[in-house]
Amino acid sequence: MTMSNAHEYFLGKFGKEALDITKDFKIPIKIDTSPTIVEPISLHSKDKLPEIECLCLTYGRFQLLREAVSFFILQDYPNKFLTIINDAPIPLNEHNLPPNIKVMNCSKRFKTLGDKRQFAIRNAQKEIVAHWDDDDTYLPWHLYSCMKRLDKNKNILLVKPEETLIRLEGGKYSLSKGNWEASYVFYAKKALEYGGYTSKDVGPETDMMKHFEKRCQIFFFSTWPYAQYILDRSKSYTRITQVNGEAFGKISKDYGNFEFIIPSENYENWAKNLVSSRWMDYLNWMEKEISKEQFKRIFERFRIKIKGI
């Protein structure tokens, strides 16, 4: 589905409210085959926000890892932590990292991507976790938008954005409503209790999603046209879901050679400089696909969240 078609689809199916980015929009989801509308959750004051741990799997893709770390630093959700799971033969340099970022250098290669994801959630230190794949783009409001919809009291234990933007060659994007697990936010212990990830490279998330569907409510939410998560399918990028979190095909590995992951004392400015071209690529394309008013609001949100872009 193209962006223009998606615009018409949401307008025709859900009305103008679906295109109003100043409001949260609720999409019906099926729980045990029965349609259910789940109300969004209002977060409390920032000092009471629950902690969330982002789990980043990586192997021999140092520059992509740096981008993933930048996307994490620029999230507007305050109580966030990042754990990097690296099973490459050369360990990552753990120095010069802020207190909320840590590295787990594993001495042995994981057999499958499912095994690696299972290890990550089993060793998570926080109750709530988010996948943070090293080859994807997470917009600054991704964590906040997901966290405001989780609610253990209402048995809403897994949430994800309804839409995923896919970056293609030539600066183009398309819209997908597929089950992209890299945008999941969920309760780690519940995932393990339900069986977690199966030991395979392709599709372990499908099994876990089925476990959640049987036991609790899952919330697929839309804030269109605010994208939250961008999956890269351009030729210059390769998917984590190919060959156990390792880039597929014959490409050279980049282990970082013991460089600092963040080579600056000013973490936030470093992060902004590293990914500003990615933001502009996205904004340049969005400007052509949505109304001037919608684009103005999106650009303003970027201006507020990432000053200086």
Q: What is the pLDDT of residue 305?
A: 66
How does pLDDT run across 21-54, given as a tens digit for each residue? 334 333 333 222 222 223 333 454 555 789 999 9
Q: Tell me, what CATH number does 206's domain have?
A: 3.90.550.10
The answer to whether position 272 is within a domain reads yes
Contact by Cβ (8 Å): 28, 239 = no
The answer to whether position 100 is within a domain reads yes
pTM above threshold 0.85: no
Q: Please give the tally of structural domains in the chain.
A: 1
The answer to whether position 168 is within a domain reads yes
How does pLDDT run across 232-275, given as a tens digit for each residue? 877 555 555 444 445 444 456 888 888 999 999 899 999 998 98
The answer to whether position 140 is within a domain reads yes
Burial of 203: CB neighbours in 10 Å, binned 0-12, 13-18, 19+: middle
CA distance 294 to 299: 9
Q: Which residue range forms the structural domain that includes residue 96?
A: 3-39+49-305
Contact by Cβ (8 Å): 120, 182 = no
The answer to whether position 193 is within a domain reads yes
The answer to whether position 44 is within a domain reads no
CA distance 240 to 221: 24
What band does 178 get if pLDDT is binned at 50, 70 and 90?
Answer: confident
Residues above pLDDT 70, as percent of the chain: 77
The answer to whether position 113 is within a domain reads yes
How does pLDDT run across 75-129, given as a tens digit for each residue? 989 999 999 999 999 999 989 999 999 999 999 999 999 999 999 999 999 999 9
Q: Long-range contacts for 197-202 (Cβ within 8 Å, ≥24 apart)?
A: 197/114, 197/115, 197/117, 197/118, 197/121, 198/114, 199/111, 199/112, 199/114, 199/115, 199/118, 200/112, 200/113, 200/114, 201/112, 201/113, 201/114, 201/241, 201/242, 201/243, 201/244, 202/113, 202/241, 202/242
Between the CA of residue 131 and those of 59, 64, 213, 217, what are the distances in Å? Answer: 15, 15, 19, 19
The answer to whether position 89 is within a domain reads yes
Preceding amide of 89 cis, omega within 30? no
